[in-house]
Structure 1
Amino acid sequence: MKDDPIMKEVLKKIAGIAQYCSLGIQNELVDICRQLITEKIADKVKSACFFTILVDEKTSISRQEQMAIGLRFLDSKTFQIREEFVEFAVVEDLRGESLGQFILIRIEKLGLDMKLCRGQGEEFVEFAVVEDLRGESLGQFILIRIEKLGLDMKLCRGQGYDEVPNMTKYVECLAQSLNLVLTDRSKIHDIKHCMMIIRETVNFFHFSAKQSAVLKTYTKVNLKVVCETRWVERHDAI
């Protein structure tokens, strides 16, 4: 609240009677809102019956590995495909088995039945992480979990990796494929040099109010900062 000028002014006016304004209380209120929203999303997924798990993992600016988990499902009321963000959490172990277990635990906490999961997808994920998520270790882990559910793997008709049958079909979006290609091609010196020039040009204007003001007199288009981690977002800056 201290960084919000409007709330700061409100708190000044009610300084003598203001309650529930400490950082601890604020975080607790935010967490309660998160729980309520997550429960609503889980209820909608349950009404839809079937769902797909979406995963996005990146290194934050604070150098922490963070994973976003989302769900894709058919809205039972509007009959429209929906994608809802569920959780953003820090992960430490990036091995396929550990990531798979992390995701499954989160899905179980939502009260969702993995037997109703019909897809898995990773969007804009680092190349090494994508390989690990869909690798042999995750396949074996999922195989063990399915057997614990008492299901007969002989009846599984999904596509598998390394001859390990999988309950769901791996889906890699076109944007992810483009991201992987560009990430690999960035090893070429000329491309890296080009991106460096673009980045420095953007920063020249971005970090100076005077230079930005001069630029605005010639164009109404704002320069966008070149994303350090996602190639798919760099085309806007270019």
Structure 2
Amino acid sequence: MKAAPQAQRRLLDLQAVDTALAQLAHRRRNLPELAEIEKVAREISALEDERVRAQVAVDDLDRDISRFEKDIEQVRQRKTKDQQQLAAGGSVKQVEGLQHEMATLNRRQSELEDAELELMEQREAAVASLADVQTRIVTAGVRRDEAERRRDEANADITKEQEFKSASRGPLAADLPGELVTLYDKIRTETGMGAALVYAGRCGACRIELYGADLNRVKSAPADDVVRCEECRRIMIRTAESGL
């Protein structure tokens, strides 16, 4: 392929724009905020699991306490009934039986109330644990929101830069021969770089030094020949800095 040396040199300007665009795309994919957001998301997920377990513990204790309250209430009702029967009087045997039952009910009520008190203390600790994990979830959510805000700001800045670079690329490419741009774009799509300056006898893309027949090939090629590197296949741009 043939192209004026000046047009070939302008490929370096096009490559500079495309390199900048590629760097911006890489920057967008690798924003530190993305890793932070992912980390906080994992943390929140784990905290949500912990919150569920803490809530289940509170619910279980509430259910057990409710059951004890019902049992205690039944004992109280039975004691009230026995007290009414004692007040009404009766035979010695009946009175002794009621007194014995009252003593048993008192012991039962005390045992139930002690057990309920222990559960209530456990519930207080469980509620505190639940409140703690809920606070940590809120704190993590704030960190996530802040990281997302910074991510969005960074993306907005990158978008502005990309739009500016893309706007400058169009006119630059339009001023170059169509076949040259087509070849350049094909190589860039395949390798990430379409053209590079030959500097001090080295390919600017793969950094391999030219020597022997390859060096003679590049040296002897007419100035308007579009020369490609034998190693990386990029377009080699020759200037006074090329050392040829």
Work out which of the two has the higher radius of gyration on C-alpha atoms and give 1 or 2.
2
Instruction: Give TM-score scaled by structure 1 length.
Output: 0.20
Question: Which of the two has greater helix per residue?
Answer: 2
**TM-score when normalising by structure 2:** 0.19
